[in-house]
A and B are shown apart, each in its own frame.
Chain A
């Protein structure tokens, strides 16, 4: 069974630029999550989708971050414009349902200069 796919794996941008990350969850997983993990900290949930609807986005900085999950399958997370403090690993995870085990992708390592 294929795992969660993410791209790109690494990205370096300058502050005020835009960036987008892509995630393809495990086939059949209804719930998709985007986490931000700053070095030395635990993953912080940014947004959670159930199929193509948003379940929780309470910690998403909506003035600069946006995410969508069209057709309830893959998802895109965008940052526009980026700030220095956005430097982190962005992890995508998926699960059959929100109470089920979450499976993480390899992450995208973002460096904002």
Chain B
């Protein structure tokens, strides 16, 4: 069973903020976030380990609440380059299982 991401899609104006959520039914060891642009390979953004740790990449940050088995990705002051599909990956054991993705479109 894969993690559930919400929303499925979001459209932003440049400079606006957005939040992408990733929920799991399993006890997680870590959550990984990737971004994939159309026709390209997924690119690693960050890993969050259990402990409620928050990390950042440019103006993209994320949090991980292990009790709620949920992670959130925060796009702050979005840029055109943030457009793409964001995937969370949940690690339970030695396997990474990806969610269905959230499509983000940032317009000028």
| Chain A interface residues toward B at CB < 8 A | 40-45, 48, 55-56, 91, 98-99, 101-107
Contacts and interface: CB of A to CB of B under 8 A. Distances in A.
Given A40-B101, A42-B101, 14 more contacts: A41-B101, A43-B42, A43-B87, A45-B95, A48-B94, A91-B41, A91-B42, A98-B94, A98-B95, A99-B94, A101-B32, A101-B44, A103-B44, A106-B41
B48 interface: no
Contacts of A40: 101
Interface residues of B, number: 19
Given A91-B42, A102-B44, A48 B100 contact: no
A4 B48 CA distance: 24
B47 A104 contact: no
B10 interface: no
B40 A45 contact: no
B41 A42 contact: no
